[in-house]
Chain A
């Protein structure tokens, strides 16, 4: 086994152990001691507004599939979709979900059906919809625009994999004067979202949706596990800098290479 493979196994086993550990020691399933992320506060606020005003939320899940590096952001988007449907079950109009990938579209419809059954939305006509609006970046963006421009839509949540076409989607929300909460894993698109969305999600904030929207103890535990790993990475980077400064980094590298 290569050194990279061994490190990978260690990281995954440690992560798994830490998530189990934190889910056991955290007795309460409510969020405590986690820093506020304004975008998630805004989502909860917008759900309440949609309930009071009889409007609906639009959740776009991007155009990432499940077989590439973009899958995690698409799955994080689905997790947020589930929470939003649960919390907005008493809305006059259920949320609309749009996507640019066929597999995610099917998963979105499955999430919608499963969540609607779980919260006993008996009226099938009131079930939220999951739409595939286009299969190329620009056709997806163009297809999403018509939903954003719908007068019934009071807020747009864009969570998933987007490219530079996200600027169309976010600026359309701004033109409609509706709040736009957006996050993606692609770096150039993150910069665009920071500039154009009213409430951006930066970096790993996208993956924390479940913990902030009340998905349960495991989601909160995974945030704690991430924090532990963040500190480990900080220590490793600082250690590397010190070793480099002392001029013994190549010695450590050769020892590690020899031992694996």
Chain B
């Protein structure tokens, strides 16, 4: 007879740890146990990052072999990942030998390669957001979309601080929109999200949703 034990065991561990961590928020006497579990979770998450990097490499190795139009990007990713890993390791060895933090080469990569690239991408995001806002009426011509579009327009116009484009009335309207309907709407959405979060957590504590152990 083939009895599978890993699913019930993993479910029992997950539910047990979840209940203790949740109870730790309300019962001060078991707070220490909660912190032990949380710290263990953080260490496991760090190990998962290593596993994830291996997964990332394997995914892009497969894409490189597929001869698609994006295979070149995968090749660049694999090369830069390996280079960064080697440079990071050299930095760590130097730090160990010198006896004080010495991450010059890694810092150079972050300052001169990653930071400019991410900043450029952020600039592209601004263009992409403008495009998305402008195209909403093409996608859905309903009351909510029209309202959304005109509110964006009003808030943008009200945010101008260059003197010729500054309109005091629009400033007042913008402030009112941000303080009253936008804040109220955001609170409403947050309440809904909080309720959804609680039910998701309870379903996991009940073992109904089990994103672990099959």
Which residues of chain A have a CB within 8 Å of any CB of chain B? 1, 5-6, 8-9, 11-12, 15-16, 19, 65-67, 72, 75-76, 78-79, 82, 101-103, 105-107, 109-111, 113-114, 117-118, 129, 131-136, 138, 142, 146, 149, 164-165, 167-168, 170-171, 174, 185, 187, 190, 192, 194-196, 198, 202-204, 206-208, 210, 216, 218-219, 222-223, 225-226, 229-230, 233
Chain A residues with Cβ below 8 Å from B59 are: 129, 131-133
Chain B residues with Cβ below 8 Å from A118 are: 214
Chain A residues with Cβ below 8 Å from B136 are: 194-196
Instruction: Decide if B85 is an interface residue (CB 8 Å cutoff).
Output: no
A8 touches B26 (CB 8 A): yes
B214 touches A187 (CB 8 A): no
A171 touches B131 (CB 8 A): yes
Residue of A nearest to B118 (CB): A138
A-B contact pairs, 10 of them (CB 8 A): A75-B200, A75-B211, A79-B200, A102-B51, A103-B45, A106-B52, A111-B211, A165-B121, A192-B129, A219-B203
Considering the chains assembled together, what is the distance between the CA atoms of A75 and B212 in angstroms?
11
Interface residues contributed by chain B, number (CB under 8 Å): 63
B132 touches A192 (CB 8 A): yes
Chain A residues with Cβ below 8 Å from B73 are: 146
Q: Is the interface of B mostly helix, strand, loop or mixed?
A: helix
Besides A1-B26, A203-B189, A206-B193, 5 other CB < 8 A contacts?
A: A19-B202, A79-B209, A105-B55, A118-B214, A132-B59
A204 touches B192 (CB 8 A): yes
**Closest Cβ–Cβ distance, residue A57 to chain B (whole Å):** 18
B189 touches A225 (CB 8 A): no
Residue from A113, A204, A222 in contact with B203 in the complex, judged by beta carbons closer than 8 Å = A222
A146 touches B26 (CB 8 A): no
Which residues of chain B have a CB within 8 Å of any CB of chain A? 7, 22, 25-28, 38, 41-42, 44-45, 48-53, 55-56, 59, 63, 70, 73, 117-118, 121-122, 124-125, 128-129, 131-133, 135-136, 139, 148, 186, 188-193, 195-204, 206, 208-214
Residue of A nearest to B130 (CB): A167
Chain A residues with Cβ below 8 Å from B56 are: 131-135
B211 touches A78 (CB 8 A): yes
B55 touches A204 (CB 8 A): no
Chain B residues with Cβ below 8 Å from A185 are: 193, 196-197
**Closest Cβ–Cβ distance, residue B53 to chain A (whole Å):** 7
Considering the chains assembled together, what is the distance between the CA atoms of A138 and B209 in angstroms?
30
Considering the chains assembled together, what is the distance between the CA atoms of A190 and B49 in angstroms?
27
Residue of A nearest to B74 (CB): A146
**Closest Cβ–Cβ distance, residue A254 to chain B (whole Å):** 24
Residue of B nearest to A198 (CB): B139
Considering the chains assembled together, what is the distance between the CA atoms of A229 and B59 in angstroms?
44
Chain B residues with Cβ below 8 Å from A218 are: 203, 206, 208
B186 touches A207 (CB 8 A): no
Considering the chains assembled together, what is the distance between the CA atoms of A78 and B27 in angstroms?
30
